[in-house]
Amino acid sequence: MPPVSRGRNGKKRKDGNGTAARSQMVSGRESASFGQLRSLLGAREHKEAVRDQFEKRAPSYDSYTVWNHDKRLIAETLRPVRALRSDAMCLDLGGGTGRLAERGRRIAGHWVVADLSFHMLRAVSEGIPLVEADGERLPFQPDTFDLIVECSMLQYADRDRVLSEAGRLLRADGTLTIAEKVLGDYEGVGAEWCIEVARLRNPLKHDVPTTPLFASLLRGHGYSVESSVELRRIYRQSIEEWISRAGTVPAKHQRRLRELINDPPPEVEETGFRVDGDYMHIPISWAVISAERAVQRPKPSLVVSIIPTRLVDDRLHIYVQERRAPVVREPDYFGSLEFPQGRIERGENFADAAKRELLEESGLRIRRPIRIANISTTRHTGGVTIEAVQPNQVVITHGRLNYLSLVFIVETSGKGAPTGAIDNRGRWVRREELSALVTGKQVYPLNQPMFEFVLANADSIERQLQADSGHR
């Protein structure tokens, strides 16, 4: 067994009267709800009762827990793993014996299993890091994981705290996948039967909810729900194992459970529930929901980038310059290779912005756009100004730079002497020189795709300039 790290709540405990008292209080409640029991015991005692229960169930957990062998459920829960990098960090939260982590690591990522119960973690496969910790307060740094998965864990915990903690641990655009039992086909009297059965078997759990509840909880905590599926399964289980639940169900609750399964209401039988000798076939529905951590990105600044071109001796030349401003805000990019560009000012249309920026930074004037670009067409109707723009390219940056740039390749006129306050060291280069220049010098990130675009389309740009020059 791999070494187990103790989390923030992973202190060693003393067995004794505390465990016995908790067990007596739990068993003494007649069909108590999660909220009633947590209120009665207190949050800390409730967690200890959950831990005690799982440490009692641990030796036989994998053998009688049917979802552990449900390949469809596991595959659906691990679906986001296939989109991960091989070095992604993944957490199996409340992972118990590590069934999800064991399957997940065969696909992608480095996996960690965190669980409240030390005895459950002892069954995890070798080579997977283990952490004994409370899912509501985990001992990891923020922005640690690309993926967090959990199956049947939220039913034991404060859901709001767990979802908040998962959001703290996920990296930007990281994914949380939850798999939880829901009412599914159980409605009306059938739903009441299902909830009573669940309370009798384990009053430490929340009442069985509906799928929309989980989706609402996720959105309430700032997650963006990417996919949601409700799986309807029918599990064949030994009645004795199901009723006793590894000896954790009190005798009086077992008697009531026998009554409920031997004489179910018609609404339950309609779902496909039936008893077959010593076994029963019980429909269980699972909600499997994947959600991304919604990151509020800064609103990108709208800019216009101009790629000046001209023919010299019937050959294509491109105007480039060095980034000399803003030095204070972006010092790391000072001197980077770029094209003339700038923000669109209030009340300015794209055509005017492109002309102004090009003239300010290079002393050049736009003769006409190249290829399919149409810088701007503006009209006014019914008090609305409509501007249609057809750029050669659109480039968006996020992170350290937040820009949305409309890119125009233009044929220019003028000598190219800067008229602005800053000398951008602009110069004309032959198309053959541009590739070497880009390779040997730092390029401003916003302009990297633009240089690549020009190099890829140089022949086409040159031919259009040549064809049009014959008409002048």
pLDDT category at 422 given cuts 50, 70, 90 is low
Does one domain contain both 259 and 193? Answer: yes
Q: List, in sequence order, every residue forming a beta bridge with 224; answer none if it has no partner.
A: 292
Does one domain contain both 205 and 345? Answer: no
pLDDT of 15 strictly over 70:
no
- pLDDT at position 416 is 61
pLDDT digits (tens, 9 = 90+) for 197-210: 999 999 889 999 99
Does one domain contain both 103 and 208? Answer: yes
User: Is the pTM higher than 0.75?
Assistant: no
pLDDT of 407 strictly over 80:
yes
- pLDDT at position 28 is 43
Instruction: Please identify, among 293, 309, 339, the residue that sits at the C-terminal boundary of a domain.
Output: 293
- Residue 213 belongs to a domain with what CATH number? 3.40.50.150
Question: For 423-449, what is the mean pLDDT?
Answer: 90
pLDDT category at 390 given cuts 50, 70, 90 is confident
Does one domain contain both 315 and 258? Answer: no
- pLDDT at position 274 is 95
Spatial separation of the C-alpha atoms in residues 450 and 401, rounded to whole Å? 16
Does one domain contain both 271 and 342? Answer: no
- pLDDT at position 67 is 86
- pLDDT at position 421 is 52
Does one domain contain both 114 and 197? Answer: yes
pLDDT digits (tens, 9 = 90+) for 25-82: 444 444 555 555 555 557 788 889 899 989 888 888 887 788 888 999 999 999 999 9
Question: Residue 130 corresponds to which amino acid?
Answer: L
Does one domain contain both 335 and 441? Answer: yes
Instruction: Tell me if 211 sits within 8 A of 230, measured CB to CB.
Output: yes
Question: For 228-234, what is the mean pLDDT?
Answer: 94
Instruction: Please identify, among 293, 328, 347, the residue that sits at the C-terminal boundary of a domain.
Output: 293
pLDDT of 14 strictly over 50:
no
Q: Can you state the percent helix, strand and coil of the chain, rounding each to 5?
A: 35, 30, 35
Q: Which domain holds residue 392?
A: 301-469
Strands 403-413 and 365-369: antiparallel
- pLDDT at position 44 is 84
Does one domain contain both 21 and 152? Answer: yes
Instruction: Please identify, among 293, 313, 333, the residue that sits at the C-terminal boundary of a domain.
Output: 293
Does one domain contain both 457 and 323? Answer: yes
pLDDT of 446 strictly over 70:
yes
DSSP states of 173-221: EEEEEEEEEE-TT--THHHHHHHHHHHHH-TTSPPP--HHHHHHHHHHT
pLDDT of 413 strictly over 50:
yes
Instruction: Tell me if 309 sits within 8 A of 317, measured CB to CB.
Output: yes
pLDDT of 374 strictly over 70:
no
- pLDDT at position 1 is 58
Does one domain contain both 143 and 253? Answer: yes
- Residue 413 belongs to a domain with what CATH number? 3.90.79.10
- Nearest CA to 307 out of 387, 360, 370, 389 is that of 370
Does one domain contain both 81 and 102? Answer: yes
3 state SS of 269: helix
Percentage of the chain beyond pLDDT 90 is 61
pLDDT of 20 strictly over 60:
no
Does one domain contain both 289 and 393? Answer: no
Number of domains making up the chain: 2
